[in-house]
Amino acid sequence: MNLILASSSSYRRRLLSRLGLNFSCISPDIDESPKPGENPEQLASRLSMEKAMAIREQKVNGLIIASDQVAVLNGEVLGKAGTPEKAFEQLKRASGQIVTFLTAFSIYTPGGIFHTEVVPYRVTFRNLGDDEIKRYIAIDQPLDCAGSFKWEQLGISLFEKMEGDDPTALEGLPLIRLSALLREQGLTIP
């Protein structure tokens, strides 16, 4: 079966490759702006679905996998920082707080079955000092990550606790649940 990852994310590409499947990547190129009144879970879910649909509309034949992640702190969505200053601001606000990551993924099968789920994951940050936040940003450069950290690298040192069913959801693609759905579609994993 032709497997397509609707993403330009190196993080998601690396995650999906852990399953040992052959796949190609196609960037969906969609507008990721939130819609008025849309809550964070709805936003993540809609963006994941729109990414899969954008690839489907290109008449690509195969099973399409798409994903999107929204980080939420006290009801507010944290985007990708983009700059060290914004990363500092995000991590300063997250200090001593719980940030919830809502990772949505969608699959669209060649038979026309569409499935979307949202997998939550919670991270409790320890109290962080300004100097350690600056050192962390300089070392890990988490500017392209929602919430401004890379848990799979030095970012793990910023936490007091992690909670959820699938730690890969925190990185951007929930492999436990995705694997189950891919097996239902006839793929052999492992």
Q: Which domains, ranges and CATH numbers included, belong to the chain? A: 3-184 (3.90.950.10)
Give the pLDDT of residue 111.
86
68 catalytic per annotation = yes
Instruction: Say how far apart CA 10 and CA 32 lie, in whole Å.
Output: 18
User: Quick one: angle between helices 130-140 and 84-94, nearest 10?
Assistant: 130
pLDDT tens-digit map of 8-22: 999 999 999 999 999
pLDDT tens-digit map of 129-180: 999 999 999 999 999 998 999 999 999 999 999 999 999 999 999 999 999 9
Tell me which of 29, 31, 68, 140 is the catalytic residue: 68
